Amino acid sequence: MGKCLSDNQVEKFHTDGFLSPISVFSINEALELKDKLEGAEKMWPEAFSASARNNAHLNFEFLDSIVHNKNLLDAVEDILGPNILAYASTLFIKEPRDPGFVSWHQDGKYMGLSENIGITAWVALSEANGESGCMSMIPGSHKKMLAHKDTFGKDNILTRGQEVQNVDAGKAVETPLRPGQASFHCPTVIHGSQPNRSEHRRIGFAIQTYIPTNVKSIHGRGSAQLVRGIDTFGHFDLLQRPKSNMEEAQVIARDRINKEYANILYLGAKKTRDL
């Protein structure tokens, strides 16, 4: 038994490539975070545009608090060990009746890391269910990296519209979450999500990904936050936490990091787009 997860839960993560649900916040705490997010969207819309959905935790205290949440990190530590970096984050927001979807894919294909060892923690700030387009996973699909095809589909939320083809969707398992719950998935599990057919926003904040400190970038040094333990490897430039929302130095740092991250995500692509 670990700090948060049972031995069976840890085994299930390794067997299936994902684990869900994991309780992180109460519903009220999650809705308070949602209110803060929507307030920040109104005050700083440029910080939440389609091209600026990555690494908002570097500019906003309330998102930073999620990345460093004790309950979340206790669960991550039970799987990865005590020394943990946060590599990046992404806001996945589907508006009501939004046709946007996420095709079947594996995160690790485009993350530019030396090893596919890590956990993406997808934290729900609103209800995420089948109607609103929660994530679906293909259990056991994490054993190897597969070929992806770039589609640049109009309604595909992914940067390149990348997809693994010929996936047996009949094997998919939905991962519905109430506000305040999280799902964990590894970098190689095949996953995706359908459009939001509900009348409410579906808001997810993904820490993408938590990695042990021995993992490194294969495209230069890269940047990350040390969120727990110690870093004796020094593979990444360690980032500071925001002391207030939209600090000038942190905004500049985030812009630089997002450009570097986009270069990795689009590496080898024939074109790019404003996502």
Identify whether 273 is part of a domain. Answer: no
Identify whether 2 is part of a domain. Answer: no
Identify whether 42 is part of a domain. Answer: yes
Total tally of structural domains belonging to the chain: 1
- Opening angle at CA 82, ends 81 and 84, nearest 5: 90
What per-residue confidence (pLDDT) applies to 50? Answer: 80
Average pLDDT, the chain: 95
Q: Is the predicted pLDDT of residue 253 greater than 90, yes or no?
A: yes
Q: Is the predicted pLDDT of residue 1 greater than 70, yes or no?
A: no
Identify whether 45 is part of a domain. Answer: yes
CA–CA separation, 56 and 250 (whole Å): 10
- Average pLDDT over every residue of 125-140: 98
Identify whether 1 is part of a domain. Answer: no
Identify whether 274 is part of a domain. Answer: no
Share of the chain above pLDDT 70, in %: 99
Residues 6 or more apart in contact with residue 138 via CB below 8 angstroms:
17, 104, 167, 168, 171, 172, 173, 189, 190, 191
Q: What is the CATH number of the domain that holds 118?
A: 2.60.120.620
The domain in which residue 261 lies consists of: 7-265
pLDDT tens, position by position, 55-80: 999 999 999 999 999 999 999 999 99
Identify whether 174 is part of a domain. Answer: yes
pTM of the model: 0.96
CA–CA separation, 139 and 171 (whole Å): 7
Contact between residue 59 and residue 49 where contact means Cβ atoms under 8 Å apart: no
